[in-house]
Amino acid sequence: MLIQQFLITLTLPVVFLLLARYARLGSSRRSKQAWAAALLAVALWSSSILSFYTGSGFPREAEVAWRAAGRYILSMSALLVLVTTHRFLQTPLSAVRPGLVIAVLLGLVSFVLDPVLTPLGDILLSAVGTQLPPSVLWSALWVATWLVPLAGALLLTRQAAQQTPRSLYRNRLNYWQLTLLVYLLGGGVALVQQPYQPAWQEVGALILIGAAMLGNATLRRYDLPELRPTLRHLVARLASTLLLFGLAWTALWLMVRVLPQRTGIATSLDLILFAALFAALFVLTNRLVERGVRWYLLPRRPQPYLALSHGTDLMQSLPDPEKLAGLILRLVQETLGTEHGHLFGVENGPGGSLLLTPLASVPETARPPAALLAGASPFARYLQQEIHGPLAPFDLAQGELFGAVPAVEKEAVAGWQSEWLLPLQVGQRLVGVVALGDKFTGAPYYEHELAWLQKLALQAGPLLWQAGQIATLSQLNGYVFERVDSLTLEQQFLQELSALYRQFAALVSPALYAPFGEINDALRAVGPQEELSGTLSQPLTELRTMIGHLVNVAGRVQQQQEFHFAPMHLNDAVQQAVRNLAPMATARRVRVEVDDDPRLPVIKGDEERLTEAIQHLLHNAIKFNKIGGDVRVDSGMAGNELYLHIRDTGVGIPPERSDQVWEAVGHRQNGRYRSSEGVGLLLARFIVRAHGGRLEMNSEYGAGTTFSIFLPLALES
């Protein structure tokens, strides 16, 4: 049994060491460092409890010194708690210096008068002539050494809490007061000294563990909820748990001990039936106890709660964020009597910054300017976190969380003249901020009113976000309709222009050839003048050829009027083009090899037009190839594109003519007109570009030419 108690007691200093490590982890605040030192001192004191389990083999003097050192280390921890309070409250040193000096003096005197360590207490009391036992005088001094610094810390914290308005910072002060009270209670129990009775010290250590955990939460967290409702909920949970535990314990005691002796029921079946009855009663009692505890410990005040999800004004205001914001502010004003307030819409800016734009104000004439919060600002980061309830602007100036808020942001918030800031969120997305000023009556905002505001935020945030989305969709819808109207007019214009082009081509084409007949008749009438005929025949032939190309191009371009896009396989177009040109390839003894991959994904295109484009490229590859040459066609996928390579073994294209292959009509070289074979290439490039792709050429003079088509993949629905 002693070994078990020793092992259990051994965990106490380990727990305090872990709590001290957690208190100091990841922070350089001096208050947290002092608190960690206090927990280390408590860990050293709790280790002295192990001296009760050392046994007879341990030196008696060492055991006594160990316990005595633990007692004074416990008193020293109270001094460190006072230092922690001083640094946490950021009070001047003069406010805590008297308590520190008195506690240190009391500690020195109690050490000198300790009857276990020195006989000076007996000598002093004998000189004074009193019959007071030395242990009583020492105990009073020792208790005062512990009590004075803790009382000073408690008074300082209470005074600071009374002078601080309702805010997150005051919530932390209230939790620190509770920490000090629990610490005082645990130390008071640990101060009880009975020979060879460590139970008081062990109970005190357990209470001090609770104080340490509460203190860690207070110093490390900045968004603690209000203390009163938290304690009420905690007491309600404990009360219901203890009550149910007592009822269950009593029922089991009756079933096991009393019932068999009084009634003679001892069979297993009887006990099973009684257990079933007990389970049914326990379930019923559980509900009744829970409701009773909530009704007694958590009374509900009647609240003038109005739901935003009802009312015709909401449906009329939802498409307009400003009207919806005005409706929310009017609801708050009518319910809480707010004199003035603002509702800001939030937009994300560069670098994580937040732009707060006023959507509505009460009164409307008091609308403030927009505010920009930097992405690294603690204020912006806090607003973007999960909802913690309303925030007091006082925290921006006093709380540790907002110590690095830029001065321009503090000035902007001060200009709102607000008493509470309420973030409106959808999940973890900040969509708005409500700034509420004073009430008409001058009364403060009570706890149940702040709870109502938080409930309102749960409804107003999604509604405001939906209103913003609807407004954005309305703007996009208007823009789309405007573009559709514009494109419709452009389509009508292009249709009329195309019709006019067809009429013009049909009218002009015969007229372009007519003068050549008259010129030939005139030349024959002139007679056999060979010199004149030779001089005019060459330019006329070039002119006739050029006009022929113009008419040919006009006719070919006219055929490319409409495209019908649909999902298709590129290999189908390749096979069709190869079949169409098979007679030409056979006549020129050119081998056409196709290496296609049936696993290639589909594309969105006009199969007939793409077949035409591929056929133009194959036609050139066969026409300009050598007799008995090869044409190789292969396809594949590269990234988000499909490619089609058409390689021939022809003579290739000289570098100086690589740019002229895309000319549809021809060019002049050395003062003479040179016809071009680029009509098919021009049309092929036009078709490929109309599909969102590109056509590239790579030629090596004397070795052959490669044309490559790249087409985008079709997006799956």
DSSP labels for 460-507?
A: HHHHHHHHHHHHHHHHHHHHHHHHHHHHHHHHHHHHHHHHHHHHHHHH
Whether residue 374 is contained in a domain is answered as yes
Same structural domain for residues 195 and 48? Answer: yes
Same structural domain for residues 452 and 536? Answer: no
Q: Sorting pLDDT into bands at 50, 70 and 90, what band is 552?
A: low
Same structural domain for residues 263 and 214? Answer: no
Cα distance between residue 343 and residue 364, in whole Å: 11
Residues 6+ apart with CB under 8 A from 611: 573, 576, 577, 580
Given a contact cutoff of 8 angstroms between Cβ atoms, the answer to whether 678 and 661 are in contact is yes
Same structural domain for residues 674 and 600? Answer: yes
Q: Each residue of 217-255: b (16+ CB within 10 Å) or e? A: ebbeebbbebbeeeeeeeebeebbeebbeebeeebeeeb
Whether residue 676 is contained in a domain is answered as yes
Q: What is the pLDDT of residues 250-305, one digit of tens each?
A: 777 766 666 565 555 556 666 667 667 777 777 777 777 777 766 666 555 444 44
DSSP labels for 299-334?
A: PPPP-----TT-SHHHHHHTT-HHHHHHHHHHHHHH
Range name among 253-262, 337-346, 395-404, 449-458 with the lowest pLDDT average: 253-262
712, containing H or E segment: strand 704-712
Q: Which residue range is the domain that position 708 belongs to?
A: 532-712
Same structural domain for residues 293 and 317? Answer: no
Whether residue 167 is contained in a domain is answered as yes
Same structural domain for residues 360 and 463? Answer: yes
Q: What is the pLDDT of residues 377-410, one digit of tens each?
A: 888 888 887 656 788 877 777 656 677 788 888 8
Same structural domain for residues 276 and 334? Answer: no
Same structural domain for residues 190 and 292? Answer: no
578, containing H or E segment: helix 570-580
Same structural domain for residues 135 and 162? Answer: yes
Same structural domain for residues 184 and 83? Answer: yes
Whether residue 699 is contained in a domain is answered as yes
Which of 433, 449, 474 represents a domain boundary (last residue)? 474
The CATH number of the domain where 345 resides is what? 3.30.450.40
Whether residue 163 is contained in a domain is answered as yes
Same structural domain for residues 271 and 368? Answer: no
Same structural domain for residues 190 and 160? Answer: yes
Whether residue 489 is contained in a domain is answered as no
238, containing H or E segment: helix 227-253
Whether residue 499 is contained in a domain is answered as no
- Percent of the residues in the chain that have a pLDDT greater than 70, as a whole number: 74
Kindly list the strands in the beta sheet with 429-436, ordered across the sheet, starting from the edge strand earlier in the chain. 371-373, 354-362, 341-348, 429-436, 420-426
Q: Evaluate if residue 91 carries a pLDDT over 50.
A: yes
Q: What is the pLDDT of residues 636-686, one digit of tens each?
A: 988 888 999 999 998 888 877 777 777 644 444 444 434 445 567 878 888
**Between the CA of residue 578 and those of 585, 694, 709, what are the distances in Å?**
9, 21, 16
Which of 224, 255, 275 represents a domain boundary (last residue)? 224
Cα distance between residue 393 and residue 398, in whole Å: 9
Which of 272, 297, 322 represents a domain boundary (last residue)? 297
**pLDDT value of residue 82:** 92
Can you point out the beta strands (E) in 60-122? none
Cα distance between residue 631 and residue 194, in whole Å: 107
**Between the CA of residue 317 and those of 168, 322, 356, what are the distances in Å?**
34, 8, 21
The CATH number of the domain where 150 resides is what? 1.20.1070
Mean of all residue pLDDT scores within the chain: 79
Cα distance between residue 308 and residue 457, in whole Å: 10
Q: What would the mean pLDDT of 231-239 be, rounded to a whole number?
A: 78
Whether residue 482 is contained in a domain is answered as no
CA angle 701, 702, 707 (to 5 degrees): 60
Q: How many domains does the chain have?
A: 4
Q: What is the pLDDT of residues 151-186, one digit of tens each?
A: 999 999 999 888 887 777 888 899 999 999 999 999
